[in-house]
Amino acid sequence: MRVRDLLAPQCIELNGSASGKKEVIEKMVDLMAKRGNLSNKEVYKKGVFAREDESTTGIGDGIAIPHCKSDTVKAPGLAAMVLPKGVEYDSLDGEPVNIVFLIAAPNTKDNVHLQVLSRLSALLMDETFVNNLRNAKSTDEFLSIITKAEDAREAEENAKASSQNSGFDVVAVTACPTGIAHTYMAAEALEKAGKDMGIKIKVETRGSGGAKNVLTDDEIKGAKGVIVAADTKVPMERFAGKRLLEVHVADGINKPKDLITKATNGTAPLYTASASSDEAASSAPSGSIGHQAYTHLMSGVSHMLPFVIGGGILVAIAFLIDTLAGYGATAGGSFGSATPLAAFLKYVGGQAMGLMVPVLAGYIAYSIADRPGLAVGFTGGMLASAGNAALAGYIDSWTGFGSNTDAFSQFIQKFAFAGDGVNTVSGFLGGIVIGFVSGFVVNWLKKVTEALPESLNGIRPTLIYPLCGVLIIGILMCFIFNPIIGLINTALSNGLNSIYNSGQIWLLGLLLGAMMAIDMGGPINKAAYVFGTGMLAQAALDPSLEKAAFISMAAVMAGGMVPPVGIALACKIFPKKFTVAEKSSWVSNIIMGASFITEGAIPFAAADPGHVIPATMAGAGVAGLLSALFGCTLRAPHGGVFVFATVGNPLMYIVAWLIGSVVTCALLGVLKKDINK
């Protein structure tokens, strides 16, 4: 299908203008509607915006290709707009967009939109072609440029097809996570570079419409080298014994000649397929160690995020219901569950948030070791969330093991630190650590079991990996990671008590606020929170402690409310420093921050801890410090804005919270790099 056939003259605007991405898409849909192929323009428009929410269609270099496959599209079509002044579009490279193509495809099995995307993406790889379109003086000239480019491309494809029986010097595979533009742009760049260099190359594209131009065994066998330019999994075992380069799909677009040179001069490393038959696909390209770690971490964060948002907002609604029902500080520790509906929502939301760390750890392990890592990582995450308290109970109940029972129990207790009152919940930081360890343990198990007879291959992923992996991870969590973090927690609690006893309430406010923003619901955060609630409990027994206790609790909550709100502000003020998915969560972060649910900041902190955590710590510390200096007090252990009516000096408390949020926002603007950099 030709691009020119789908583009009607009335669907082209050569001197467009818009204030932002939303207006661009609305105008593009209006252009599309002029073709008469939309049965319901509004439904189609919603579909375009929904696709944009998944990931931006601003592919870079000033180009955007929004698209939608919908039942409201009666016939496929294209619309085009040139924006001479450019417009902010959340592009992958962070630059303004000045040429837009909109694709409308009917909801049929032939995936027309993917065919058009493939051909259009390939054409847009030609810088001369794109510049000619931008400078077209009339609609007829715009269409003529497309026609000539397609004619030339078809002639080139026919010539290439007629010469394919002579074999290829290089074979390649391109793939990107969404399987749309970058997949085909990388393929086009490699083919064009091969032509310029006189190298015969065949490229297999693995897009969202499936694998196209699939490499045959004979083609792979006859090639001098293989290039895999992919940021997602591709079948790799077929390349065993070949000289192979694994790179990011962006390298396929930006460095095609370098890749082809390395693939043909014999310097590429030999590829050895280590995966067994039950593991058909390799991981994404290796890249640097830092990039590997980031990719695995983001796998966990992206799967964890729905649990944080869904569960966190349900808990916030529970607090709101109790507030509207007249419960606040009077509900004490039952605030959020004082009414039946609130109790239900808090229970469901709490269960969802309880899955946060296991999902994080499980999918980090999955990214590293594929499906066999999932069960091991989930188990490690559960142990990170639960800590060793239950283990202490089991140890205390052991009987009937003979005269050595007590000694054995004491030995276990000593090394698990489970029976000494130490907080051993390692939280999301422990989840991150054990997620990586789980993946590496499973990969190690894969390697050491390679020598087993082939007849036992079937039980490796179903018995050996989960059994041995869960056991190893259980030992590591219970006897190494949880105890170590437990010691840190104990030291923190002792330090807080020392500061309180010295009467330096301002310093206590600073530290409590900052601690709430270090690990966002993890052990350090919990140490500060437990200190605050513990002070409330002591004040209930000793009224002389009330002022210090209420000031401490106010500082704790102020610090915990800052990170999500500060990050949400930064998403709006510094949009180029965040991904599309991150920016889309700003509303939920406002809600969670206002509800004293610090965990809303976890995905941001996990993705970029070196820049995000210092910013959130500073802002939260400022909020805690100001809250203490202003003498703000709080009697409720939770609730956020829903218990502000119980706050002493509420106006200045809000000021402290907002100043801290602005500090976090400003530091994120300074510390974080733009996404395209």
Q: What is the largest CA-CA distance in the chain?
A: 96
211: left (phi over 0), alpha (psi -120 to 50) or beta: beta
Catalytic annotation on 176?
A: yes
Q: Residue by residue, what is the 3-state secondary structure of 643-666?
A: HHHHCECHHHHHHHHHHHHHHHHH
Annotated active-site residue 182? The verdict is: no
Helix (H), strand (E) at residue 246: strand 244-247
What's phi and psi for 176, nearest 5 deg?
A: -130, 165
Q: Supply the DSSP symbol for 243.
A: B
Instruction: Determine which one of 11, 67, 182, 665 is catalytic.
Output: 67
Both tokens of 137, joined, read 């003086």
- Identified catalytic residue from 11, 68, 176, 665: 176
Residue spans of alpha helices (H) in 325-371? 340-354, 356-369
Q: What CA–CA distance (Å, rounded) separates 530 from 538?
A: 12
Query: Cα separation of 227 and 285, whole Å?
Result: 11
Measured at the CA of 298, the angle between CA 558 and CA 374, to 5 degrees, comes to 110
Q: Which residues pair with 203 in a beta bridge?
A: 172
Nearest of 514, 502, 494 to residue 627 by alpha carbon = 514
DSSP state of 19: S
Q: How far apart are CA 411 and CA 616, in angstroms?
A: 40
Whole-number Å distance between alpha carbons of 471 and 175: 36
Contact 234, 228 (CB under 8 A): yes
SS3 state at 602: helix
Instruction: Characterise 649 by phi-psi region: left (phi > 0), alpha (psi -120 to 50), beta (else).
Output: left
Contact 220, 242 (CB under 8 A): yes
Chain centroid offset of residue 576 CA: 16
Nearest alpha carbon to residue 505 among 541, 543, 532: 532
DSSP letter for each residue of 383-409: HHHHTTHHHHHHHHH---S-TTHHHHH
Token match 């496929």: residue?
76
User: Residue 303 is which amino acid?
Assistant: H
Is residue 435 within 8 A of residue 300, CB to CB? The reply is yes
Beta strand spans in 91-169 (E): 97-106
Q: Which active-site residues does the annotation give?
A: 67, 176
